[in-house]
Amino acid sequence: MEKPKIGVDTKRLEAWDKVTGTAKYNADFITPDTLHAVMLASPYAHAKIKKIDIKKALKSEGVLAVITGEDAPYLTGSMIHDRPPIARDRVRYFGEPVAVVVANTEEQGMKGVSLIDVKYEELPAVNKIKDAIKENPILIHKDLSRYTYAATDIYPKANTNIMDHVKIRKGNMKLGWSESDVVVESTFFLPQSDHIAMETRNSAAQIMHDGTVIINTSTQGPFAVKEELSDIFKIPEGKIIVKTPLVGGAFGGKATIQLEYIAYLASLAVGGKKVLVRNTREEDIMSSPGKLGVEGYVKIGATYDGMIKALECIYYVDCGAYADTAPRMAKSIASDCSGPYNIENIYCDSYSVYTNHGYTTSFRGFGHTASTFCIERILDKLAKKLSMDPSELRIKNAIKENDTSPTQDKITLSNTGDLNACINKLKKLINWEEGTLIENEDGMIKAKGMACLWKTSNSPTDATSGAIITTNSDGSLNLNFGATEIGPGMKTTMAMLLAEKLKMGVEKIHVFMDVNTQVSPMHWKTVASMTTFMVGNAVLKAADDLIKQLKQVGAIALKCQPEDLDVGNEMIYMKTDPSKFVFFKDVVHGYKYENGNAVWGEIIAKGNFIMRQLTPLDKETGKGKSGMSWTVGAQAVEIEYDPRMHTYRLIKAATVMDVGKTINPKTSKGLVMGGMNMGFGLATREEFIHDDDCILQTTSLRTYKVMRFGEQPEYIVDFVETPQMGAPFGARGLAEHGILGIPAAFANAMSLATKEEFDTLPIFPETIYKKKKEVEQ
């Protein structure tokens, strides 16, 4: 019999393409007929556009068209239609596209851009959350209440900068506080930052004679591109084809739609010719959306023996100049605001706030990195106040069966997993018992910090996926689905699921590596760590359909009933006598009798999936269901602190996560490690810095720093497997989660080592120096 596929390390299907340079990404398809669109970015964070003079640019060699906001009277946005694809009348953030030059070559486009003359009238900018929410603030969107909304459950406040407010009201706060013997409160801050996928965002558009629009784009959501282009530009959806090859990293940054609009408008301006718009790194950082910033106020109460009784939190999410999906992240912060702990009395307000910073979109963790930082830092402070081991406090309050989530969703072992098993395993891996604070003779201080995590998907309630299997006359299978390959190896995972189900070799499953919305079945978006769950379920359903058809045609070939048969090793065989069989290859394109007559035809199988039982949150109480399950985990970080120089070194970091079932172990560990590494980026260096005029200072990789080789600690990743019912082989989402607790665990370790409290990210040596200095004075 074929060996099992699930739980066995399987190299990604496209691995050799990626080490030979033959793997193609969107901007690698360079054709001589491709024109180039180059953007002019706003030099101000907030200004009126008084006049744009494009005459000189139009005369420049190779320039075919120049478009401005006047040519594009559209408003876009997945939640609120508040963003013009090219700024109109005013600019609201530094780097906002103001004009687009279409030229024969990119250089000519750049030259053209330099010849555009824009007259601005600078306006005061909202540079801080506190200025955005104060009385009579500078309004960034005067028309907020007149915009149209793509979502129904969003509640903007007219004449403010607050675009949404999510409330959680669970239990009885008065009771909670009265039962609390100790109360701890703190304010936290996490700055805006960037995705820095190595492939910058890029899109091409072409409009055919019959009006068909072909978009080639680097995206996590080709189907969303199709829908939103159709919606904004009133193009029938069937006339839009979106094609996405391999994607060079995404981390949420390619789940939104931005350059696609510009490419389309640029193509339209030159009679439908193919136009490519490709971000420079600087544009990718300053013009395209980044990660949200968060200010959090958290107050927690517990009994002397460490049972948490009440939680109050207020979050202000710096969404930047436009809404995009940011309000959904503010919602997800609220809906998981307790962390993976049972808290019966919760009061939470989560506000989505406009500022004149760059706008923001989904980012790995979907807001949970912020809520995890706040809750896990406050738990360490609580543990300190209670003189309790931080791990014990977490174990005591860990969420478990029959508890409820902040949105009053019922917790089961299946839908959440076993946090305490994760914590206990983690403590062994990181040698927690040896002590969390060790001062060496040479004066160096070693410290360990811990954080737990949980996250649910926060998808639309009707998110759906499909899968199609076709067949080859050698008996191998073709698998086609709508998730793009952005790095986590989802194409391979799906091949493994199908191979396992069919009991055949993975190498006989040929996966369509690209997505083409014309031929691929839909997948909502390749986001939220939901591909294995959603597409996986669709693939398993398609596999069932395939097996059913194989048995039906096999029954004809073997002159028996379908129920007498089973499949495996590319054969359909009698359960009672496997020596009686027919090969797949002899039936998948129809079965031919000895006399030449034939029946059945090509076997084509299909499967689909849609999210179940999800509901929006109640406006007043936050009651509702944001996802079908959670993934829980525990993380620890060990650092070495040099008290003389206030520098530190990352020594070790461990993660134990309840993933339900590991499908492809090395791939899963790689994803978790990658998340952890990004978490260290947020913890130690990544931030958007704005000057007093709200101008972004960190616009290139010279000033925006990410982790480099050799700076990472030793990574240890392990899993707990509590299966999730209804998930493919019990597997939970895991791709984002590695990032979630690292900043908190790091800050907990740093706070312990330095005897200072670090509630703001990132933590630089200078940050520590300043704290120490403050204390001295």
Partner 1 sequence: MLKILDSTVITLNVNGEDRKVVAKPSDILLYTLRNELGLTGAKPGCENGDCGACTVLIDDIPIKSCLMLTVEAIGKRILTVEGLKNAPIQKSFVENWGFQCGYCTSGFLMVCHSLSKMHPDADDVTIQDWLQSNICRCTGYQEIEYAIKSILNGGSSDIEGSTF
Partner 2 sequence: MIPFEFEYYKPDTVEEAVNLYDSLSNKNKKVIYYGGGTEFISMARRYNMYADAVIDIKAIPECNEFDFDGDDLYIGSAVSLSQIADINKFPLLSLVVKRIADHTIQDKITLGGNIIGTIIYKESILPLLIANSDVVLENKTGKRRVSLNKVFNKKLLLDEGEMLVQVIVKKEYVNFPYQHVKRTKNEKIDYPLLSVSALKDNDTINVAFSGLCEYPFRAKKIEKILNEDSLAKKDKIDEIIKNIPGEILHDVGGTKEYRKFMLGAIISEILDSFQEEE
521 binds, among partner 2, partner 1, none (CB under 5 to 8 A by kind): none
Q: Which of residues 532-551 bind partner 1 (CB under 8 A)?
A: none
- Minimum distance of partner 1 from residue 241's CB (angstroms): 23
Q: Which is nearer to partner 2, 666 or 705 (CB)?
A: 705
645 binds, among partner 2, partner 1, none (CB under 5 to 8 A by kind): partner 2
Q: Which is nearer to partner 2, 14 or 282 (CB)?
A: 282
Q: Which is nearer to partner 2, 158 or 689 (CB)?
A: 689
Q: Which is nearer to partner 2, 107 or 121 (CB)?
A: 107
438 binds, among partner 2, partner 1, none (CB under 5 to 8 A by kind): none
Among 345-353, 354-362, 453-461, 697-705, the segment contacting partner 1 (CB under 8 A)? 697-705
Q: Which of residues 100-129 bind partner 1 (CB under 8 A)?
A: 107
Residues in touch with partner 2 (CB under 8 A): 106-107, 110-111, 114, 280, 282, 644-645, 684-685, 689, 697-698, 702-703, 705, 707-708, 710-711, 764-766, 769-770, 773
Q: Which is nearer to partner 2, 77 or 112 (CB)?
A: 112
- What is the rounded distance in angstroms from the CA atom of residue 133 to the CA atom of residue 335? 22
248 binds, among partner 2, partner 1, none (CB under 5 to 8 A by kind): partner 1
Dihedral (Cα; 735, 740, 746, 752), 10-degree rounding: -140
Residue 556 neighbours by CB under 8 Å, 6+ apart: 591, 599, 600
Task: Kindly tell me which residue out of 4, 28, 48, 211 binds partner 1, with binding defined by CB under 8 A.
Answer: 28
- Minimum distance of partner 1 from residue 718's CB (angstroms): 9
Task: Kindly tell me which residue out of 7, 43, 62, 249 binds partner 1, with binding defined by CB under 8 A.
Answer: 249
Residue with tokens 């900018």: 125
- Minimum distance of partner 2 from residue 691's CB (angstroms): 9
Q: Which is nearer to partner 2, 473 or 697 (CB)?
A: 697
Nearest C-alpha neighbor of 625 from the set 278, 336, 370: 336
674 binds, among partner 2, partner 1, none (CB under 5 to 8 A by kind): partner 1
Residue with tokens 């007559």: 597
Q: Which of residues 634-673 bind partner 1 (CB under 8 A)?
A: 666-667, 669-671, 673
Task: Kindly tell me which residue out of 184, 486, 530, 582 binds partner 1, with binding defined by CB under 8 A.
Answer: 486
Task: Kindly tell me which residue out of 63, 197, 205, 379 binds partner 1, with binding defined by CB under 8 A.
Answer: 197
764 binds, among partner 1, partner 2, none (CB under 5 to 8 A by kind): partner 2
Q: Are 479 and 494 in contact (CB under 8 A)?
A: yes
Q: Are 196 and 290 in contact (CB under 8 A)?
A: no
SS3 sequence of 314-365: EEEEEEECCCCCHHHHHHHHHHCCCCCECCCCEEEEEEEEECCCCCECCCCC
Nearest C-alpha neighbor of 294 from the set 357, 345, 249: 357
| Contact status: 22 vs partner 1 (CB under 8 A) | yes
626 binds, among partner 1, partner 2, none (CB under 5 to 8 A by kind): none
Q: Which is nearer to partner 2, 131 or 711 (CB)?
A: 711
- What is the rounded distance in angstroms from the CA atom of residue 173 to the CA atom of residue 300? 11
| Contact status: 33 vs partner 1 (CB under 8 A) | no
Strands 308-320 and 293-302: antiparallel
Report the interhelical angle of 368-385 vs 326-335 (nearest 10°).
30
Name residue 605's amino acid.
A
175 binds, among partner 2, partner 1, none (CB under 5 to 8 A by kind): none
- What is the rounded distance in angstroms from the CA atom of residue 232 to the CA atom of residue 84? 11
698 binds, among partner 1, partner 2, none (CB under 5 to 8 A by kind): partner 2
Residue with tokens 């558009």: 205
- Minimum distance of partner 2 from residue 700's CB (angstroms): 9
- Minimum distance of partner 2 from residue 110's CB (angstroms): 4
Q: Which is nearer to partner 1, 8 or 23 (CB)?
A: 23
- What is the rounded distance in angstroms from the CA atom of residue 560 to the CA atom of residue 551? 10
| Contact status: 428 vs partner 1 (CB under 8 A) | no
| Cα 702 → chain centroid | 25
Among 22-30, 73-81, 325-333, 390-398, the segment contacting partner 1 (CB under 8 A)? 22-30
Residue 134 neighbours by CB under 8 Å, 6+ apart: none
Q: Which is nearer to partner 1, 213 or 656 (CB)?
A: 656
- Minimum distance of partner 2 from residue 107's CB (angstroms): 5
- Minimum distance of partner 1 from residue 17's CB (angstroms): 8
Q: Are 242 and 223 in contact (CB under 8 A)?
A: yes
Q: What is the CA radius of gyration of the chain?
A: 27
The b/e string for 100-109 (b: 16+ C-beta within 10 A; e otherwise) is: bbbbbebebb
Q: What phi and psi, each to the nearest 5 degrees, are found at residue 365?
A: 100, -15
199 binds, among partner 1, partner 2, none (CB under 5 to 8 A by kind): partner 1
200 binds, among partner 1, partner 2, none (CB under 5 to 8 A by kind): partner 1
Q: Which is nearer to partner 1, 1 or 19 (CB)?
A: 19
Task: Kindly tell me which residue out of 176, 248, 741, 743 binds partner 1, with binding defined by CB under 8 A.
Answer: 248
| Cα 218 → chain centroid | 15
Q: Which two tokens stand for residue 742?
A: 């690292």
725 binds, among partner 2, partner 1, none (CB under 5 to 8 A by kind): none
- What is the rounded distance in angstroms from the CA atom of residue 419 to the CA atom of residue 400? 8
Task: Kindly tell me which residue out of 118, 247, 393, 555 binds partner 1, with binding defined by CB under 8 A.
Answer: 247
Q: Which is nearer to partner 1, 167 or 281 (CB)?
A: 281
Residue 676 neighbours by CB under 8 Å, 6+ apart: 635, 653, 655, 715, 717, 738, 739, 742
The neighbouring-strand residues paired with 447 are 437, 639
The neighbouring-strand residues paired with 719 are 657
540 DSSP assignment: H
| Contact status: 359 vs partner 1 (CB under 8 A) | no
Strands 35-41 and 275-278: parallel
Q: Which two tokens stand for residue 593?
A: 């009798």
Strands 202-207 and 97-103: unpaired
Separation in Å, CA 209 to CA 98, 143, 214, 410, 519: 29, 37, 11, 54, 21
- What is the rounded distance in angstroms from the CA atom of residue 278 to the CA atom of residue 39? 9
Q: Which of residues 256-285 bind partner 1 (CB under 8 A)?
A: 278, 280-281
Task: Kindly tell me which residue out of 151, 706, 726, 760 binds partner 1, with binding defined by CB under 8 A.
Answer: 706
Q: Which residues bind partner 1 (CB under 8 A)?
A: 11, 14-25, 27-28, 30, 107, 196-200, 246-251, 278, 280-281, 486-489, 666-667, 669-671, 673-674, 676-678, 700-702, 706-712, 714-715, 717
